[in-house]
Every structure is written in structure tokens, then in C-alpha cells.
Structure 1
Amino acid sequence: MGAGRRERDGDGSTPPEHPTITFSPSAEFPPLSETELGALHDVGQRWRADLGGHRPRDAVLPLDPSLEQYRRPPAPGRFGRLGRIEMFRTERRGQLTATGSADASGTRLRRTLARLRRVLLGPPLASAAVLQERMRKLVALPVLSSDLLSSVAYGPEAMLAILVLAGSGALGLSLPIAAGLVVLMITVGTSYRQTIYAYPHGAGSYLVASDSLGPRFGLTAAAGLILDYVLTVSVSVAAGIGAITSALPGLTPFTVPLGLLVIAGLLAGNLRGVRAAGKIFAAPTYLFIAAVLLLFAAGLAQAAARGFTPVPPPPVGAVEGLGLLVVLRAFASGASSMTGIEAVADAVPAFRPVEWRQARTTLTWMVGILVVLFAGLTILIDFNGLVPRGDETLLSQLARRTFPTGPWYALIQAATTMVLLLAANTAFNDFPRLLFFMARDSYAPRRFLHMGDRLAFSNGIVALAVAAALVFVAFGGYTQSLIPLYAVGVFLAFTLSQAGMVAHWRRHRGRNWRRRAALNATGALLCGLVLVTAAITKFVEGAWVVVLAVPLLVLLCLHIRWHYDAMRQALALPPPDTPDPDQGGRPDPMGRPNRVAESTGPDDLLVDQTPREVRHLVVVPVARLNLAAMRALAYATSLGQPVFAVHLSPEQEEADRFRRQWETWGDHLRLETIISPYRTVIAPLAQYVEALHTVRPEVTLTVVVPEIVVRHLWHKLLHTRTELRLRRALRDLPGVVVTSVPIHLPE
């Protein structure tokens, strides 16, 4: 595509402009805004005035930090246990590049675990390889459609399981209901094609609802998707294990352990990265498509041989009357075959260029294959007069009846089992990306922005595996217990996404906007119907969990955002148009007035931005006058700031004895003594430092603590580690810096 040229939609229109979204390792480090850059420049000018023309960067350093003058840089030493880095390579002046992998060294156990990790996950990938990890259509189709296509293995059965409650006579409604579901599939699929067109750089329900309806609607859609992805893994694994136990009933008691083993395998496969996972999981999806098409062709041939005369189903007694409520429940249960249809829209930035066009083509193929498989299986089930059974899935019954002899039944069951087990791979691809988008907007922990060794969102993948494993164990791996929870979350996201697209077209009013809005409105109406039906009819069966969990998740996300907003406001530099300190002071980032003259309490901490504004007082806690204390006192005094020592004593006699020792040393620094008659150490020291801070909050207190460093883990049990406890106690106190002077014990 030439420079300045933009791709066009099928009707000749051009996709609207939106901010580019990329899955990049640099997402953890967003650039500064123009306002922040202006504030930074203002602070730099203050530094220039404070330093009076002296530039600390020009000072002569005792060593060359670029390591350029050393022909043989030092090899990794004691910190090789943290990561085996082949030291550094100089790329340009003032910049170093760490080379080599982060394989652990050290103990034999650590090296063994590192080798096992590399065997399971592969070698780490450099950040520059992120573009190579994007998906092409042939890989994206199986990776993103495994959930959608595999759902036809249990979607028709979920529909018939509701109809059969009204007796075998109600099973005749399966074909009309299936026809309505096909219309829903095509409508929602086409609507998501429009969504990808309208948001070519990211088209998930969260992004669309947030942009068009507002952040809270976006969070509601995200909460529904989070529950959907967790249940996708649980339901898919449960259905796959169900297929195994249908063929091998003896494995039924091992349902839960087998499911957890599968989740662990999916976790390891997805931690290898998108491209590697695609290579692993592509073949089973394509094999499943071929197997079901083979089953469809053979079943139609058998039906044609008997003149397409349906086999009457076995008589089943009705446990409730046939009415509109039963039909709606069956429709909502059958709609579980659509879970995963939004996967492509969520993963648009993960496609190779042109991303939105590749995504739309992939989505079209996915929906087309879904309609063929769902309709074909429903028709064959009706022709053969099959009814749901507790000991064998409908797909297994159909395959056994169609292929009573030969290897074909085993092939179909094997393909179904594999695709059901690997259907969770779709969730493992989209769940971390959803958390990425939410973390970028500060609605989820920022650790979900981080890419792991293999350029996969490892934290999100692990979080999904843990949550899905807990749900799977809680429900005993039983598919029908999980299905009622399934439809509510996913169709909540579908409804909000389609409603958001209606608002989008009404706001932008581009070419053919009325036709596009009408299509999305139809999708929103149908999805809303399924949502309301599932929430009401399945509320007692378990849907109440989702109904309760969604607002709780939204509230949690809002609290996370409030925390990040408070942190951002507290750490923001003041606007560049604030007055100079010499001309009356300046407000702090929280909007409070000048605190240089008004500092009266512990919360009124001066924001220290320039060297002139920092006023120091160094405090050195000393227990005994030994080598550790002497080094800490020498280090504190070398800083050239006011220093005094403090000693905590359990009784007056010991305090007097320590003061005599202090005078023997020479009484070079002022000594303050605290008597602690109840022999507590940390609380009196922490409260004393807090009292110092309360008296003069504009003074930065630096607490220099001697720290004993031991070589072995068990040696730590032999020490009280007072310095660590004091650090934790003072960590929450503003205006206090805690630093340690380590003393390393020999082996």
C-alpha cells in the first residue's frame, strides 16, 4: 500500500480515522503529553537557576559508565542468579544494550528449572520480533475460531436439552429455533464486520462501548467478556473431557484431574507466544471442520437413501408444559453456539497489515463455517431422532449412528475432543488483550501491559488459567452446570457493542450510516432478547452469579481507576505557568496553596523538585558501636548534610553505658537516646521519625540503616532483620527516605 493511501471498504468508503493501537512492549512506558512536557521544561529551568550555570553532568566521574574503555567488560558475577546476561553491548554513546538471554544460573535446581522452562516455552524473543508474532489469516482462523466453531458440539445439545423438558413432541421445534439462531449468527457476524470497519485499530466490545456509550458501559461490557472468557475455558475443557468420557466411560471419575491437566497444557502452549500457539492449535481446528463436514455429508447421504424421512425420537415424558418461555429458553441455550464470535474484533491489532481487512475476511469465513456446521448438525440430529442423554453427548450419538463400523467414529470423537479442549485457546488469546486495553485505560492493574519472554501477555494468560481452573473445580467439570452462566456475560457484551455501534453511526453520520445503524440495531435487539431471556430463565440455575459478578467487577475496575488517578495527580508536575518560588511560592499538584510558609502537619509535604528546595536531615539508628555502625555513620557524614544518631535502649543503665562508649569514640556527632522500657524497637523508632517529620514536614529525613547481608537463606532465620522491619514501617511516611548500608558476612 503506497504512502498516504488508505484501504477502502467493500462499498468504496474509507474506514474512519482512530488512534492506532498496537500490542507493543513499550505500552508499559507511555510518552508524556504536551502539558507534561511543558511542566518538565519548567522544572528544568528551575534546576538551571538553582545550579547557577554549574552542570553536574559535566563533572569528572571516577569511572566510565559506558564501559567503552574496557576491552573485556566484567563477566556476570554474583547476580548471575537473577538472569544470565552476557553483559552489555554499546549501541550508541550514552546507551547500553543487554545481550543474551535471562537463563538462570547458580544452583543445580535453578539450572534444571531454567532448562525445563526453555523446553516448554522456548527461548525468549527480543522486543523487535513483536511484528513477526502477528497472525496471518490461515493462522488466525483456527486460533480465533476454535471457541466459536467448537461450540456447535454442545450448542445444539443445550437447545434440545430445554425442548425435551416439554416431551419428545417439542423436539420438532428444533429446526425453527435453529433457523432463528442462524439469522442471529449472520446478523451479529455482519454487525461485527461493520464494527471492525468503524474501529480498524481495535473493535472489541469494551472499546466500542467505551467510545460510543461511555466508560461505565464499556466496563460493563468488559466485565461480561471477562466472565465469558473464564467460562469459555471452563466450558470448553468440560465439554472436551465429556467427549472423552463418552467414548471411555471408565475415565469419568477422573474428570477434574484431566481437566486441570488440559488447562495446564493450554497455559504452557499460550505462554510460547501467538505464532507458536497458532502452529500448535491450528491442525485440530481444521481437522474438526473436516470431520464434521464428513459427518454431515455421510448423514445426508443416509437420509437421502431413506427419502429424507426423519426417524421418530424415542418417547420422552414431559416435565413441564410447552410454552413461549420454554421456546425462549431453548433459543437462549442454543445461542451458546455463538460464543467467541467477537474474538476477531478483539484481536484486530494482532493481525498482519492491513489489519482490519485481514480481520474482516477471517470473520466472514468463521461465521460462514459456523452457520454450515450448526445448521448441518441440527438437521442431522432431527433426521436421526436423537435426544440428549446424560451418559453420551448428542454428537457422539450421531457419529456412532452414522459410522457404526470403521475408524470414522473414533476419528470424529478424537477431532471433537481436541477442538473442544483447544477451544479455550480463543479465550487465552483475547482475555489478555482485553486486560491490556483496560490496563492502558487504568481500569486494570498495569502489570497486564507487560509482555513476557515470548512477547505474550503472560500475566493475563496466567490469571485466566487460574480463574478457569477454580471455576472448573467448583462445578466439578460438568458442562450443563456451566452453560447457564455462559450466555449472560457474552450476550451482555454483544448487546452493548451493537448498541454502541448504533450510537457511533448516529454521531458520525457517514456514508450509508442509516443502513449500518439499522443492521447494528437489529443485532442489539436480538442479542438483548437472548440476554434478558437467559438472565431471567436461568437466574435460579446459576445466572445470578453473573448478574451479581458484573456490577462487582465494574466497581472493582472503577476503584482501580480512582487509585491510578490519585497517583497520577499526586505525581504530576505543576503546570508551567506557576509563579516562581522566589515570587511567593507555587501550588502543589493537588491544587493546595503554597506550603513553604503554611506547612503545619504531616500531610503538608513540600514537593521537592529542584536541588535548592531539598532540605536534608540524616538520621542514623545505632544499636552497637561496631563495624556496621561505623560504616553507616561514615557514609551518612560523607553526604555533607546535617547528621545525628539515635540509640534505642531498654533501660537507663544501658543508655548511660552507650553514651560513655559514644564519648570514647569521640562524640563526633550528636546522639539522641530513646528509652523503651517495654523493649519494643520498631514502634518507638518509627514514631520518633514521624514526630520529626511532623515538626518540620518540609525537611527530607534520610534514615541510614546498617544492614547485615547473609549468604544463605537459612542464615536469615538467625537474625532479627530489624532494618527490613523498620523500612516497612517507614515506607508509608511521606518525606522520609530509608537507605541501607550493607555489611556482607563471609561464607
Structure 2
Amino acid sequence: MVSSIKRLLIGRPLKSTELGEQKLNKTKALAILSSDALSSVAYGPEQILIVLVTIGAAAFWYSIPIAMGVLILLAALILSYRQIIFAYPYGGGAYVVSKENLGVNPGLIAGGSLLVDYILTVAVSVSAGTDAITSAFPVLHEYNVPIAIFFVFILTILNLRGVTESATVLAYPVYLFVLALLILIGSGLYQIITGGVSPELSAPIGTPVAGISLFILLRAFASGSSALTGVEAISNAIPNFKEPAPNNAAKTLIAMGILLAALFSGIVCLAYFYGISPREEVTVVSQIAEEIFGRHFMYFFIQGTTALILILAANTGYSAFPLLAVNLANDKFIPRMFTIRGDRLGYSNGIIILGLSSIILIIGFGGQTEHLIPLYAVGVFIPFTLAQTGMVVKWIREKPAGWQTKLCINTLGALISFVVTIVFFLTKFPQVWPVIVFLPIIIAIFHQVNRHYVSIGEQLRIAQSMEKTPIEGNVIIVPVAGITKVVENSLNYAKSLSPNQIIAVNVSFERDAEKKLEEKWKNWQPDVRLVTLHSHYRSIIQPLTKFIDTVEHKAAENNYCVTVIIPQFILKKGWHNILHNQSSILIRAILLYRKNVVITTVPYHLKK
């Protein structure tokens, strides 16, 4: 039944040879990997106005030069990550760049930041989309958390079905959102050009504003830069592209940058010319749409696609998180299970862990994750800064053709990203301080996992000079509870291995039961030695393990191996197991930690 449900939800297993069919073309990749960046248009311009409104509406004209600064940073990031795509075509993005050029710890800082950030991407995006839905239908507001969890479940299932299927389903809402905003911006600009918008709605550019300061401008710039989250996702997901993967990824990145720049600058301009002021209960995009179209079809179309894109922005995390996890796992910093492909050839363990982690965040914060947005943004700008700095070091060290231009691009990007990161810490410290606490913990965990894998590798590696101790024989111990077909089955197997070195061991609580078993045993298995151990405290494990330890110590002196054969009957119906004490499972679990003991289970299958 479980298998049938799995097939229904996820689909039939795919052959490894079908991996090429699970690659993305540029059209689907743009939708699935750009949803996070494009969705930030819905709140990025608003974040600028929220800072400026503290000075007054007259300061709103500063949103235009601030937006230009954000676009300069966007251009630097796009050009930089384009260079990263060709320099590191196997994916990994900021993690790989930082590790190879700045060292292991900077790489782990970048990788750890992005892993956490992708979890935040899912939690924040789904919660924001849920808020948009429950705002339109207030009766659903008390069900925010279940609705958000439902959306995470749907996205997880879609991604477990494979990259191609999820991209096919999710591409339509993304392109509908882009279409809706282009219509909004085009209509708004037409009204402005034709004089349909009163110039009195906005203060002229250059108007002196009392109380404005460099600190406030930097804070507004940093807040607006939250619109750039998700720009790095394409460089992490290069292996998901059809060949030639680097070329297709680079073209997709440029297309995303152009779209993001057009939508972001368009919304900022409309907000300025229409004199839109941020309000708690209504978003800036909603106000602009209402001013241009009124509360008619286009208004609801724009609101609906905005809600959809906010939810689907989470899919960027589903695309990038598993591939980043693969790079970290290949370097032995996180468990190797993240490198395993599932039935549908996706990295299903990474997808499932991401979904579960985001659900925990949603439940923990009651679906109200808006105060996580600064943490979400700073978690991206730390890798931005490290990746750009790593590329600066790479160009200085390698000096390839045209390296001076590349160096200038990355230097500019590194400086701006560093400034934005510092401003985030200075202006939003109460919200971003967890980064300072959790990043060192995450890095310590990475190193601990790495030390474990290195230690295991050293212990398992076969060295040519190692002395090999030959095994001269085998002593077989068979724990028995009585004379049954299960025991007989196990003894027959033991005799096939070593007929002359078998010891049957019975642990009893009553002296009379010992004597009766010994008498019956002599007639039943006269050629197998029976040892009875009396347990004063009604424990099977303690006397048995003590006996095995004694035998193992004597066997080791003669280079003998000790094998414990555990008889176990297998019930036909699973629920029957609750009617039995499962002693064989407990014995096996205890003996697994004996260094020089081999454990073998001999099953006996019951028919009824």
C-alpha cells in the first residue's frame, strides 16, 4: 500500500540512463531558478519606501537614485556570477569559489549561509504567499500555518517527481506574474507620459529634505537590496541545465538579470510618480495596481499572480539546496546521504530535508516569518561578498586574458556587497544577530562531520604494509530458548559452517527447567554441546554477553573467530510482532558493539 501511494505521488522510478531527460532548457530554468529573485520585486521597492517614510513623503524621490544603486549592484552580481558559471561549471557557486580561493572556512561560511538561507527561502516565501491569500479571504487567516504547510508539501512532492515535471508545472505562474507586472508597468508609464498622473503626487527629484542622512540612505539601499536574493541560485544549479550547461546557465542568468532590473525599476518609478506610501495593510504593488486599473479584473489578476509567485519563490530553494548539499557532501562536510539520487533521479534526501526544515520554521514562528526577511537577506549577502572576493583573488593569482576587466567587476561587486552586509548588521542587528551565533555552530558541525569521515577512511583504508592475522578456525555460539524448529534450522546452518565447534547456549531462570532441557538435548542433539547459564536476576543479555566475551577472549589466543548465530522466527503478519518479546533483535543490537564477534541471523518463516 505504501509503495502504491509513493508511485501515485512521485511516479514511476526512472532509469539512470534517463538522467539527460531530467535536464532543464533555458525557458523552464528561467522560471524555476528565477522565481525567488523575481518575486522579491513584490517587496524590494517597498522596503526602500519603508525606510524613507520615516523622514517624510518628500524623501521618496531618493528611491530613484537608491534603485539605480541597487541596479548597479545587480549588474555587478550578474556579471560576476556569469564569470563564476564558466570558471566553475559543475555548480556550487559561492561555496566552491570561496573554498578554492579563500580557504575552507570561508567556503563553509558561504555554504552554511546558503543552506540556511534556502530553508528560509521556502519558509518565508510560502508564508508570504499564504498571507496574500488569507488577506484576500480573511476567514482563512486562522489557518495560516496549515495552509503554508500544505503548500510546502505540494512543492516537495512536485520536486520529488523530478526537475522537469516541477518546472513544467511551475513555469506558467512565473511567466504570468512577469506578464502581469509588465502590463502594470507599461500601463502606468503610459499614463505618466500622456499626463494622466498629476505631478503634484510626488516631490520633484532634487527637492531638499530635512533630516536625511547618509546612514538612512545606506539603510534604504540595504533594504532595497533584499530584492537581489536568489540571484546566486543559477550558479549553484548548473548541473540541472541541458548541455552545453554553462552556456545555457549564463544566458538564463542574463535573462533573469534583465527581467529583474526592468520589473524592479518599473515598480520603483511607478511608486514615485503615483506618490505611493507604504501601508501596513496594503502592499505597494497592490496600491499601484488599484491606482492604475481600479478594483477590476487586472487588479485581481496582478494580486493573484503575485501571491502565486511568492509561494513559488520557494522552488528556487528546492532547486539550489540539494545541489549545494551535494557539493558539501562530496567534500565530506555533511552526510553522504545528500549525494544519493531518488527514484526520479533528483537528490530526494536534500528535497525532503529542506521541506521538513521549512515546515519546522513555519510552525515555530506561527507562519509569521516577516521578521526573518533581514536574516534571510544578510544570509545571501555574506556569500555574495565571499564569492566576489574569491573571484578577485582568482583573477589576481591566475591573470587570464582580460583579467583586468573581470577584476574590476568583481572588486566593485565585493565592495558593494560588503557595504550592504555591514549596513544590515548596523541597522538591523536585533533581527540578524542569530547569524553571528549560528554560523560558528554550523561550521563546527561541518568540521566534526569531516573529521568523522576522515577518521573512518583512515581506519578502512588497506595499507600494503599491514600485517594480516589469519583466521585459523571458527567457534559458533547459538543462543537457544528451547527445542524448536527455529533452533533446529539454525543448528543445521551452523553445522554447515563448522560442525565441530558449535556451542548452544541457554539462559534459564529456573533450575528444574535447566535439567529438563539438558536431558532432552542429549537425546535430540547429542553431537552439539549445550551450555546452560543460570540467571539470578532474570536477565538474558548479561549472562549471555559475559559468556560470549569469555569464549571470544580464549578464541583470540588461537586466532579463532567467534560467530553468534541468532535464531529468529519471522511472523507472517506484521502486527503479530507485538505479541512477542523480540529477544533476538535485542541480542543482535547488543552484540553489534562487540569488536571481534560476527553476528548472523537465521530466519525461520512461519506460514500462518
What is the letter of the counterpart of residue 529 of structure 1?
Answer: V
Q: Any gaps of 5 or more consecutive residues in structure 1?
A: 1-109, 314-319, 579-585, 588-593, 597-611
Distance 2:75 2:173 in 1: 25
Distance 1:650 1:568 in 2: 45
Distance 1:649 1:241 in 2: 63
Aligned residue in 1 for 2:533: 674
Aligned residue in 1 for 2:222: 332
Aligned residue in 2 for 1:524: 414
Structure having greater relative contact order (Cα 8 Å, sep ≥ 6): 2
1:477, distance to aligned residue in structure 2 (A) = 2.7
1:546, distance to aligned residue in structure 2 (A) = 2.7
Distance 2:456 2:604 in 1: 35
Q: Deviations over 1:629-655 (max 9, x none)?
A: 222222212213622222212244443
1:87-236 equivalence runs, <5 A: 110=1, 114-236=3-125
Q: Deviations over 1:333-365 (max 9, x none)?
A: 211111110111111121111111111111011
Q: Deviations over 1:483-531 (max 9, x none)?
A: 1211121111111111111222222221122321232122112111112
Q: Deviations over 1:76-129 (max 9, x none)?
A: xxxxxxxxxxxxxxxxxxxxxxxxxxxxxxxxxx1xx54544343332221111
Distance 1:216 1:617 in 2: 50
Distance 2:323 2:249 in 1: 15
The alignment status of 1:548 with 2:437, answered yes or no, reads: yes
CA contact (8 A) 1:475 1:482 kept: no
Q: 2:544 aligns with which of 653, 668, 685?
A: 685
1:62-101 equivalence runs, <5 A: none
Q: Which moved more, 1:302-311 or 1:492-501?
A: 302-311
CA contact (8 A) 1:448 1:460 kept: yes
Distance 1:250 1:717 in 2: 45
The SS at the match of 1:166 is coil
What is the letter of the counterpart of residue 669 of structure 1?
Answer: V
CA change 1:557–1:614 in 2 (3 A) is farther
Distance 1:614 1:245 in 2: 74
Aligned residue in 2 for 1:703: 564
1:227, distance to aligned residue in structure 2 (A) = 1.3
1:677, distance to aligned residue in structure 2 (A) = 0.3
CA change 1:119–1:182 in 2 (3 A) is same
Q: Any gaps of 5 or more consecutive residues in structure 2?
A: 204-209
The alignment status of 1:635 with 2:525, answered yes or no, reads: no
Give the TM-score normalised by structure 2: 0.93
CA contact (8 A) 2:92 2:327 kept: no
Give the TM-score normalised by structure 1: 0.77
The alignment status of 1:486 with 2:486, answered yes or no, reads: no
CA contact (8 A) 1:246 1:393 kept: no
CA contact (8 A) 1:494 1:527 kept: yes
Q: Deviations over 1:374-429 (max 9, x none)?
A: 11101111111112212111111111111115311011111111111111111111
Q: 1:721 aligns with which of 556, 575, 582?
A: 582
Please provide the CA RMSD for this pair: 2.1
The SS at the match of 2:433 is helix
Aligned residue in 2 for 1:100: none
CA contact (8 A) 1:216 1:554 kept: yes
1:363-402 equivalence runs, <5 A: 363-402=253-292
Distance 1:694 1:189 in 2: 66
1:695, distance to aligned residue in structure 2 (A) = 4.7
CA change 1:249–1:380 in 2 (3 A) is farther
Q: Deviations over 1:5-33 (max 9, x none)?
A: xxxxxxxxxxxxxxxxxxxxxxxxxxxxx
What is the letter of the counterpart of residue 164 of structure 1?
Answer: V
Q: 1:732 aligns with which of 583, 593, 596?
A: 593
The SS at the match of 2:341 is coil
CA contact (8 A) 1:235 1:479 kept: yes
Q: 1:626 aligns with which of 468, 484, 501?
A: 484
**Structure with the bigger percentage of helix:** 2
The alignment status of 1:352 with 2:259, answered yes or no, reads: no
CA contact (8 A) 1:208 1:501 kept: yes
Aligned residue in 2 for 1:477: 367
Total equivalences in the alignment: 598
Distance 2:179 2:296 in 1: 17
Distance 1:552 1:473 in 2: 23
CA contact (8 A) 1:223 1:489 kept: no
CA change 1:665–1:475 in 2 (3 A) is closer
What is the letter of the counterpart of residue 426 of structure 1?
Answer: T
Q: Deviations over 1:238-259 (max 9, x none)?
A: 2222332443344333322221
